[in-house]
Structure 1
Amino acid sequence: MKLFESETVELKQVYTSDLKKEIVAFANTNGGTIYIGVDDSGEIVGLDNADFVMQQISNSLRDSIRPDISMFINIELMREDSKFFIKLTVSQGTKKPYYLSDKGLKPTGVYVRSGTTSAPASEDAIRMMIKMTDGDSFEANRSLTQELTFNTLNEEFKRRGLEFTEVQMKNLGILSSDNIYTNMGLLVSDQCKHSIKFAIFQGTDKLVFKDRKELGGSLFAQLTDAYKTIDFYNGTKATFHDLLRTDERDYPEDAVREALLNAIVHRDYSFSGSTFINLYSDRLEIISLGGLVSGLSLEAAMLGASQTRNEKLAALFYRMKLIEAYGTGISKILSCYKGLPVRPEFENVEGAFKVVLPNIHAQALRAEEEKYLPILRLFEGQKEIARSDVEEALGSGMTHAINMLKEMQERGLIIKVGNGRLTRYEVKRKDSNI
């Protein structure tokens, strides 16, 4: 009996722990046969401890490869000319990609057969195998990252008096039936790879930049941090009706909450980009990736029609009582502005959805901004300005320039740096460590 290595045949003179790489490669490709006790030339050299080696192989399959591959493996003890060797037949698996459990779903853990060698699979190849096996549902697909923790989610469950157990994780779609974390699990884990990018601008455009931050972690942490950040910048204006004082926020809190929830629950996470929040003096913009689900028009969504893209994520947010009913987000946002002179705007384009919440007090702010705009524009090309720069920009004398700078300091638009002839002014940036 003479054997030769090929794309479907591998020869091993002795058993080593590297054998599991060959098994994974065959299971991920077209299957194959591994002979142990046969040298590279194809000669049968035999094994002194064949029974023990068979036991080692069985243990390795059970402990080192995920998902369970045992049903696709057949191990036979062969004999020729009083020499014992092992024939290990690997069928192509139905739950690809198979991977080394200590390496995870990444190139160092996933192998494919290439010619007569077993090579690491690329990340694109791994994603393609996952999609072919698990289907098109992003949430249900296996996560490429398996080293996940759920500290934030566990705390959210505790706050609501709920248990966070392995059974719950499987019911929620965080963990698959064969104990592998899904993309749903990745989204609510502390290692979530998506983020929210927050930018604050001085005026009504992007010319004068004030601050920015990136919010990461579990989607629940991102939701909390994003709301706190907006709340920090969400000004309050007091109005009087007779002797009754009413405090009114620039942006209705319920509208902010609904817009954030919609952006997080309904975005398309198969896109790797971030959700964007841009805060201007007259509006708050929230831009999420993916747009409306195919077949659902903006007009239909405005009427309350709903088609959930991330059903498991929406179900979890519903269970946590963060959303009350599907399809009510837009109507709730609109109702927050009922009777006001400004209205929210919604824009749906291919690949993105934008919600614009207008500042209720924008008209008064705009008049103030126009007054100070010539001075604010000085900061477009430089970090600091001097009083003489203001005099030149306004075409005024020293007294008027001093008064304008003083007013801007009192309104928190700029800060004074230094004294005397070294006095300079900078745009005031609010503390971003919230």
Structure 2
Amino acid sequence: MNFRESEVVELKEIDTEDIKKELIRRMIKETDGDRFEGMRSVEQELTFNATEQEFALRGIEFGKSQEKTLGIINSDGIYTNLGLLMSDQCNYTIKTAIFQGNDQMVFKDRQEFSGSLLKQMNDVYRYLELYNKTRGEINGLVRVDTRDYPPVALREALLNMLVHRDYSFSASAMIKIFDNRVEFISIGGLATGAELSDIMTGASFCRNQNLANVFFRLELIEAYGTGIQKMMQSYEEYGMKPKIEITSNTFKVTLPNVNAFEDEIKQLQNVSEEEALVLSYLKEHYRITRADVEKIFDVSPSTASRLLRRMSEENLLQQQGKGRSVRYILPREK
């Protein structure tokens, strides 16, 4: 079943008014010298079934002594917000949306994952794996299989979202899956004092030190500051790399679909120079209009229209809308 544009409203990522209120609260907390994960949890009736299972799976003891050492309970024996994040009652969620094609016009599925962050980690990763298709090609007598996304990149992007998210915001984190990419949108920008260039070189600015220690204890992260570098390295053999975008309130990682990129390369080998430029533009912007073509080639409206019409007839493009709202995208799989 396909869901139409009217329903996409329900997937609104961030309410700007909520962001403003939460940002003010966060500034007050930081001014007072408090950090979210160390503050007392409003909810004290907590259970840790998923966390206990994860620790047991790795042969690591998890009891009251460990809860205190990790910062799940404070010196007074009261559960902290870290305890809430690790508990089965955790009220922070991750929402996922599967879209048809490379834009948000139509989506095919949506899920919301809740519970302990460790449960969310396992559930979301399994979900992503369902959509990480394998393409097999025969090279002589050898079959070569290529996943749409390097598993290492999916894993590190998900862990980065869980560990470094700003939990003083209540909005859900988002994962969007398109035909040609996956977007991980985490709440909260970079930690105070950090720059993107610092992160890319492996510097560590950890917003949630105690949470990171839990994941480190479970050997889910090997060392601070290596996740982004692992993502980048996993794409080196394909001649591409993930894209990172940062605002004051969000941290977005986009992983390109390796097999979709290969299809585009093959397609470019059989097209004219003008058509190749249009397809390259679509790779970055996902849609193109006649006005865009006019600017790219500095041509008249009629010339731009002829190029787009020809590419549509050759099934290089798919037209959406009519009249002044016409735009073009890459053809969707049947």
TM-score by length of 2: 0.71
Higher Cα radius of gyration: 1
Across the aligned residues of Structure 1 and Structure 2, the Cα RMSD in angstroms comes to: 2.6
Q: Which letter does structure 2 place at the counterpart of 1:258?
A: E
Q: Which letter does structure 1 place at the counterpart of 2:112?
A: E
CA deviations on 1:229-248 (whole Å, 9 max, x unpaired) are 11001111012332111211
Contact 2:189 2:246 in 1 (8 A): yes
CA deviations on 1:142-187 (whole Å, 9 max, x unpaired) are 0011111100001011111122111110111001111111000000
Contact 2:149 2:256 in 1 (8 A): yes
Contact 2:101 2:179 in 1 (8 A): yes
Equivalent residues in 2 for 1:289-328 (5 A)? 289-328=187-226
Contact 1:281 1:365 in 2 (8 A): no
Equivalent residues in 2 for 1:130-149 (5 A)? 135-149=33-47
What is the alpha-carbon distance in structure 2 between the residues aligned to residue 360 and residue 279 of structure 1?
14
What is the alpha-carbon distance in structure 2 between the residues aligned to residue 362 and residue 220 of structure 1?
31
Contact 2:146 2:259 in 1 (8 A): no
Q: Does 1:196 align with 2:94?
A: yes
Q: Partner residue of 1:156?
A: 54
Equivalent residues in 2 for 1:27-426 (5 A)? 135-363=33-261, 371=315, 413=334
Name the structure with the higher helix share: 2
Structure 1's unaligned 5+ residue stretches are 1-123, 379-407, 414-434
Contact 1:196 1:275 in 2 (8 A): yes
What is the alpha-carbon distance in structure 2 between the residues aligned to residue 256 and residue 363 of structure 1?
17
Q: How many angstroms does 1:365 deviate by?
A: 5.6
What is the alpha-carbon distance in structure 1 between the residues aligned to residue 126 and residue 316 of structure 2?
28
Name the structure with the higher strand share: 1
- Residues 1:373 and 1:225: Cα distance change in structure 2 (over 3 Å): farther
Q: How many angstroms does 1:374 deviate by?
A: 5.2
**Aligned positions, number:** 253
What is the alpha-carbon distance in structure 1 between the residues aligned to residue 239 and residue 99 of structure 2?
23
Contact 1:195 1:274 in 2 (8 A): yes
- Residues 1:207 and 1:158: Cα distance change in structure 2 (over 3 Å): same
What is the alpha-carbon distance in structure 2 between the residues aligned to residue 225 and residue 344 of structure 1?
23
What is the alpha-carbon distance in structure 2 between the residues aligned to residue 266 and residue 148 of structure 1?
23
**Percent identity (aligned):** 51
Structure 2's unaligned 5+ residue stretches are 1-21, 268-285, 287-311, 322-331
